[in-house]
Amino acid sequence: MRRLNRKKTLNLMKELDAFPKVPESYVETSASGGTVSLIAFTTIAFLTIMEFMVYRDTWMKYEYEVDKDFTSKLRINIDITVAMRCQYVGADVLDLAETMVASADGLIYEPVVFELSPQQKEWQRMLQLIQSRLQEEHSLQDVIFKSAFKSASTALPPREDNSLQSPDACRIHGHLYVNKVAGNFHITVGKAIPHPRGHAHLAALVSHESYNFSHRIDHLSFGELIPGIINPLDGTEKIASDHNQMFQYFITVVPTKLHTYKISAETHQFSVTERERVINHAAGSHGVSGIFMKYDISSLMVMVTEEHMPFWQFLVRLCGIIGGIFSTTGILHGLGRFIAEVIFCRFRLGSYRSTSVPLPDGHTSNHLPLITDNSTH
């Protein structure tokens, strides 16, 4: 009974078989067909390898939404070296809410030598080269997002030489927490002191001849510190041409949520516009000498997500490649054979054109000679 049911099932499956079956004795092989098959198999292999490389690759997806978080604090990561002694300069933040954040809350003043060592100069040169390429090729930012991970570091390497030169500069590094409103982080002459109408700096005891706001920005970022990310101002170096010179950076900060296969973090991207001028009150150029970074927070949030092609989509594309090439090469091969047969048939018909046969009475016959069995003997 089981054997009968199995046989019925097998017969039913055979009836449902919709694929055509051509006996091998009906198939005619040819050199042209073999050539086309070889080309088709080579093309399939090449496109399959390329499709597999596309499947392994990832891309960054950008989405935008309104940033509704205004209560949390914004972290500013700073590493700036100013060509003045630490006792002569002071750094602090003043936002639009008239809230002052003193540098003592998280910044460290470290006396250093302003001139870099050979290894540090090489690091700065490579960082500036990357910055110039990022300005030309914006798609490189996706590569940086993909390769960012916490064990990598883009910070300035320590000096490898024991310089005997006395420190002539001040490295201000660390982080500050500020309100998520527009503000102004600045470094100028004198330490900051609170003031009922804002704040002030004790600059009266510092002579104008000692002013030198040549500076190097080794790192400046907003939000969570991600060592693998290169920010727009990293590696920037400015040399002051005058003692009373003002350097201004106008920064627009965009909150960013980064989700890749290596890291997930909440950071901030920013764009910057630079300006510098010499303070000369007699010429109408008013202001205060120093380094001023005026930042503004964007109301939009960018969500950057690393995505990968689904496996089912890879299979669909692979089947499309194989079936499409087989169908296309079959059509082209059939069309080529049809054209070749039409051309060869014309030549064959031309070879059997009528010939003139002389007759005994002097006339000619345009009919083809009749081939009989006797003529073969």
What is the token pair recorded at 125?
């040169």
Q: What is the phi/psi pair of residue 145, to 5°? A: -60, -40
What DSSP character marks residue 285? B
Give the pLDDT mean for 61-80: 87
* Among candidate residues 301, 287, 252, the one with its CA nearest the CA of residue 273: 252
Give the pLDDT mean for 274-303: 86
pLDDT digit string (tens) for 297-326? Answer: 988 888 888 888 888 888 888 888 888 888
CA–CA gap between residue 121 and residue 156 (Å, rounded): 10
Radius of gyration of the chain (CA): 40
CB 285: neighbour CB atoms within 10 A?
Answer: 12
Percentage of the chain lying above the pLDDT 70 cut: 73
Percentage of the chain lying above the pLDDT 90 cut: 10
> What band does 274 get if pLDDT is binned at 50, 70 and 90?
very high
Helices and strands: H and E segment counts in the chain: 5, 17
- Give residue 328's pLDDT: 84
What DSSP character marks residue 25? G
For tokens 């883009």, what's the residue?
Answer: 154
Contact 120, 157 (CB under 8 A): yes
pLDDT digit string (tens) for 235-267? Answer: 899 998 888 889 999 999 998 888 877 777 788
Give the pLDDT mean for 36-51: 86
- Give residue 142's pLDDT: 64
pLDDT digit string (tens) for 110-141? Answer: 999 888 888 888 888 888 888 887 777 665 56
CA–CA gap between residue 291 and residue 311 (Å, rounded): 53
What is the token pair recorded at 153?
């570091």
CA–CA gap between residue 111 and residue 89 (Å, rounded): 12
Longest dimension (CA), the chain: 140
Residue-averaged pLDDT of the chain? 78
Give me the DSSP letters along 108-126.
EEEEE-SSPPHHHHHHHHH
369 pLDDT above the threshold of 70: no
Instruction: Find the length of the chain.
Output: 377
For tokens 């980064």, what's the residue?
Answer: 258
* Among candidate residues 371, 366, 370, 369, the one with its CA nearest the CA of residue 355: 366
* pTM reported for the whole predicted model: 0.67
* Among candidate residues 281, 294, 291, 298, the one with its CA nearest the CA of residue 216: 291
Contact 223, 302 (CB under 8 A): no
- Give residue 360's pLDDT: 57
For tokens 């920013």, what's the residue?
Answer: 270
294 pLDDT above the threshold of 90: yes
CA–CA gap between residue 164 and residue 247 (Å, rounded): 30
Q: What is the phi/psi pair of residue 164, to 5°? A: -90, 0
- Give residue 250's pLDDT: 95
Task: Spell out the domain ranges in the chain.
Answer: 32-59+308-322, 68-298
What is the token pair recorded at 42?
């080579």
Give the distance, in angstroms, between the CA of residue 241 and the centroid of all CA atoms in the same chain: 37
Q: Which helix (H) or strand (E) holds 253?
A: strand 245-259
For tokens 């960013």, what's the residue?
Answer: 256
Amino acid type, 280: N
Three-state DSSP state, 299:
coil
The β-bridge partners of 106 are none
What DSSP character marks residue 11? H
Q: What is the phi/psi pair of residue 73, to 5°? A: -90, 150
What's the number of CA atoms in the CB half-sphere (13 Å) around residue 204?
2
Strands 100-102 and 192-195: unpaired
Work out the angle between the directed axes of helices 31-56 and 311-351 (0-180°, nearest 10). Answer: 160
